[in-house]
């Protein structure tokens, strides 16, 4: 069993309030959940209007599959928003 984890920092330049930011977060999370079999949540920077930190997790039978799922999620998100930073980690058990 392999657990793949990824933390993304996203820039939302048009967000002028926390309400605007929540709309972006909800939109990204809903689109990712509907397309991929992963868990996704806002994990940091809740008080900053234009910076969004999302955590993505996937469980797979091998590292290659977990990594490919995370890369697919990354490319899907980056097609729609500006990504500032990405950190990934695979944990094998």
Predicted confidence (pLDDT) per residue in 23-53, tens digit: 888 998 999 999 998 999 999 888 888 888 9
pLDDT at 48: 82
Going by C-alpha positions, the residue among 54, 60, 92 that lies closest to residue 74 is 54
- 5 forms beta bridges with 57, 89
pTM of the model: 0.85
Domain 2-92 falls under CATH 3.30.70.1120: yes
**Could you report how far apart the first and last alpha carbons of the chain are, in Å?**
5
Residue 62: DSSP 8-state: S
Domain ranges of the chain: 2-92
Q: What is the mean pLDDT of residues 17-28?
A: 88
pLDDT at 82 over 80: no
């Amino acid at each position: 069993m392999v657990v793949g984890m990824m933390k993304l920092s996203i820039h939302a330049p048009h967000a002028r309030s926390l309400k605007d930011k929540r709309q972006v977060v909800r939109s990204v999370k809903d689109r990712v959940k509907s397309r991929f079999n992963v868990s996704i949540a806002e994990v940091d920077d809740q008080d900053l209007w234009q910076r969004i930190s999302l955590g993505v997790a996937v469980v797979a039978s091998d590292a290659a599959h977990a990594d490919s799922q995370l890369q697919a999620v990354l490319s899907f998100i980056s097609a729609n928003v500006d990504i500032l930073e990405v950190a990934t980690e695979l944990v094998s058990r």
